[in-house]
Structure 1
């Protein structure tokens, strides 16, 4: 099981984290594994931390400006529960993105499968070096 990296987002339901390189329940390339993860997470809140994205050196201010515009896109999606984008103090070109969704499907099928996601990609993906890995984790503990 993954580590806890978020706050409870719904009535006793542990959130699942969606993000970059943090360990936990992963949506694997194997379609059987993907279905297993989706079945396990159906109708559970999803929270996504991502250490990474790493941004092309010298383009951090441009990335943050573009992210400010992209925020409206993701915030308009059904099931979106909020986000934070933080910059790493020790490595200023590395960010932590934490996104909360009502369910894993709201993220995978809703946002990632939408036309709006194409605009999100256009605004942000060219800043990443390397491109972040997206993983899904279940919340285990809180304090």
Structure 2
């Protein structure tokens, strides 16, 4: 399993619009091959910050399958315009450490 992690820093006063757009976008990602689950959590200390955690079966399910799909264009049109983010989020991928 791969964990996709994105810290989402929003511009002030766009959280309600972002959450509405994310509710629609979540339905897109749920149907993708290799998708396992996701969580969107809002920061308590900084109400304009969210963390998005998406679990994929393998890295390519996200980087090739999802990002290379027509559904990704729908996702982008809902969430990736600069109306929401400042700065634009960096996405990283993690796997369980062999120390576990």
Output the TM-score relative to the length of structure 2.
0.91
Whether the aligned pair in 1 keeps the contact of 2:5 and 2:91 (CA below 8 Å) is: no
Residue in 2 that maps onto 1:99: 54
Residue in 1 that maps onto 2:20: 65
Residue 87 (structure 2) pairs with residue 135 (structure 1):
no
* Alpha-carbon shift at residue 129 of structure 1 (Å): 1.3
Residue 73 (structure 2) pairs with residue 118 (structure 1):
yes
More strand by share: 2
Partners of 1:64 and 1:121 in 2: CA distance: 15
Structure of larger gyration radius: 1
Residue 2 (structure 2) pairs with residue 46 (structure 1):
yes
Per-residue deviation, residues 66-114 of structure 1 (Å, max 9, x unmatched) = 0000000000100100100000000011001000001001000000111
Residue in 2 that maps onto 1:83: 38
Residue in 2 that maps onto 1:20: none
Per-residue deviation, residues 115-139 of structure 1 (Å, max 9, x unmatched) = 1001100001121111111112222
Partners of 2:32 and 2:5 in 1: CA distance: 18
Whether the aligned pair in 1 keeps the contact of 2:8 and 2:50 (CA below 8 Å) is: yes
5+ residue gaps, structure 1, are 1-44
5+ residue gaps, structure 2, are none
Higher relative contact order (CA 8 A, sep 6+): 2
Aligned length: 97
